[in-house]
Amino acid sequence: MSRDRSPGEHLLRPRDGDALRAALRLVAGESGVPVAFGGEIARDALLLSEFVGITTNALRGLTVLRRSGLGGQVMASGAPASVADYRSASSITHDYDRPVLGEGIRSVLAVPVLVDRQSRAVLYAANRGGSPLGGRTAELMIGAARQLAREITVRDEVDRRLRLLRLAEPAPAGAEGEELRDIHAELREIAGAVPDPELRARLDAVGGRITRVLAGVPAADAPRLSRRELDVLAQIALGCTNQEVAARLSLGAETVKSYLRSAMSKLDAHTRVEAVARARRARLLP
């Protein structure tokens, strides 16, 4: 869920942590579970940030790494998991015993929030006593995670469409734009006076290219890149490393590499820099 944001970026997107906290409060209220907490995933790590019913600060700000502890296991597998007795559980690592046991937690259920099959957050419910969490709590947790995933999907789609609108914005009506319009008008005039049909067709084609540049639409022969391939290239165009792209788009590092390789192949580019340059020439990127 969490994404690095430059100043002014995603101003319309509500804070995802607020939606996560609302989901936890709903689960706690309807199930009666005494402790609920969770957090967003960024840079392949889960940061616990939202809490209901905790009595200490032991869990606040805790970073859970992939495959570490119950949450890291859930983050990696993409499937819910639970332990009836955290202290003696052999199915998980015990990297976080001090904060978990410091809160008096015994039985724990963790549920991932999956968007495009990627873990974007993890929700936890916990008991301090010896009784395991019941099926009703698990049902509510899974339902809350699915609802949260749907909300995040909508927010992601709004962000994607805003990015596409920015990519399709016409060239600014400054001196360069006006100069291009003057050149286009003069080129059309010259083409009309040329008797050679082949040369006239070539001049018309150049005029059409200028028109497309002014309109900000992709070139007619631009390769068809997927939404995620364009998303990755747009971040690389800003100078991001693969790890930074993965964090910004909430993707795995290997997934970013896969999208980049596919985009480079479609653009017939041999380097990431060349891929960005070719995408810009095709007006797929601003």
Q: Which two tokens stand for residue 172?
A: 């600014």
Domain containing 251 — which CATH number?
Answer: 1.10.10.10
List, for residues 163-174, the tens digit of each pLDDT value: 766 655 554 555
The residue among 163, 187, 202 that closes a domain is: 163
Q: Look at residue 189 in the predicted model and tell me its pLDDT.
A: 62
- Exposed/middle/buried for 86, CB within 10 Å: 0-12, 13-18, 19+? buried
Residues 204 and 235 in one domain: no
pTM assigned to the model? 0.58
Structure tokens at 213: 């540049």
Q: What are the DSSP E strand ranges found in the chain? A: 35-42, 45-52, 63-65, 81-83, 107-115, 118-127
Are the CB atoms for 123 and 144 separated by under 8 Å?
A: yes
Same domain, 233 and 282: yes
Please indicate, yes or no, whether residues 197 and 276 belong to a single structural domain of this protein.
no
* pLDDT tens string 248-261: 888 888 999 999 99
Please report the pLDDT score of residue 110 as a whole number: 97
Please report whether residue 198 resides in a domain: yes
Q: Are residues 149 and 22 in the same domain?
A: yes
Domain holding 199, by residue range, is: 177-215
